[in-house]
Amino acid sequence: MTDEADRLVAAALRDHARIPAPPRLHAKLARRYLAPRRSWLLASVSALGGAAVAAALVLLLVRPHAPAIDPANEAVGDHLRMLIGRGLGVEVSDMHQVKPWFAGKLDFVPPITFLGDDDFPLAGGDVAVFLGHKAAELVYHRRMHVISLFVFQADVPAGERTVQGFHVVMWNHDGFGFALVSDVSFDDLHALYARLQ
């Protein structure tokens, strides 16, 4: 049955080995290497001498084409980067040790009070960049699995997504955006979400 095992491993690699680049890297390289794109509309307006209109359109149309940022992809990418070796800035099991660690590293206090429990022990935290914002990353464990919680000062499209086999739950509260990401089941993520409320 080794052939079947090889086939399953090959399928797992095909489905899960790719780690997308963070959107900021896409944007940085596009800004550096892609010439601004002008539309035919801009050319027409300029020809008519509509300088004021053109100036306004320039702002909209002459910008380098930046790829759209998908928050769920960003969450999975950041989670994977932590898993494969970035590690955590602080590894502790007590939120009272994690929160002070963020002081001076973030310009906000992550509004999280769940200290972890037997089902979801807290592993630690780190500072990440999420959608261009500095974010607190809190890491919980669920059995042998790892769950990342990103907290940042921006809105995200609330809802649930599955990207590359990872489940992502996103919501907003009180001016903060939250993203939970892991390869545990949605039921487990919902259980952690309930504890975080």
Which is nearest to 148 in space by CA: 111, 106, 192?
A: 192
For the window 127-156, what string marks contact with another protein as x by the rule CB under 8 A? ------------------xx----------
Length of the chain: 197
Q: Could you tell me the two tokens for 144?
A: 């042998």
Distance CA 49, CA 122 (A): 62
Closest contact distance (angstroms) between CB of 174 and another protein is 29
151 in Cβ contact with 135 (< 8 Å):
yes
Q: Is 177 in the site for another protein (CB under 8 A)?
A: no
Nearest-angstrom CA–CA distance, 148 and 79: 6
166 Rama sector, left if φ>0, alpha if ψ -120 to 50, beta otherwise: beta
Query: Is the sign of the CA dihedral 122, 128, 132, 134 positive or negative?
Result: positive
> What's the min distance (Å) between Cβ of 80 and another protein?
6
Comparison of 78 and 112: residue with beta carbon closer to another protein: 78
Choose the binding region for another protein from 9-17, 40-48, 91-99, 153-161 (rule: CB under 8 A): 9-17
Closer to another protein by CB, 8 or 48: give it. Answer: 8
Tally of CA atoms within 13 A in the half-sphere of 142 that contains its CB: 19
Nearest CB to another protein, comparing residues 46 and 164: 164
Which of 16, 38, 63, 105 is the binder for another protein (CB under 8 A)? 16
Question: How many chain residues bind another protein (CB under 8 A)?
Answer: 41
From 48, 51, 55, 86, residue interacting with another protein (rule: CB under 8 A):
86
- Residue 128 has phi, psi (to 5 degrees) of -125, 170
Per-position b or e across 98-113, b if 16+ CB within 10 A of its CB: bbebbeeebeeebebe
Q: Using the rule CB under 8 A, is 81 a contact of another protein?
A: yes
Q: Does 66 bind another protein (CB under 8 A)?
A: no
Of 92, 164, 193, 195, the residue at the interface with another protein (CB under 8 A) is: 164
Query: Residues interacting with another protein, by CB under 8 A?
Result: 1-2, 4-6, 8-10, 12-22, 25-26, 28-30, 32-35, 76, 80-81, 83-86, 145-146, 164-166, 183
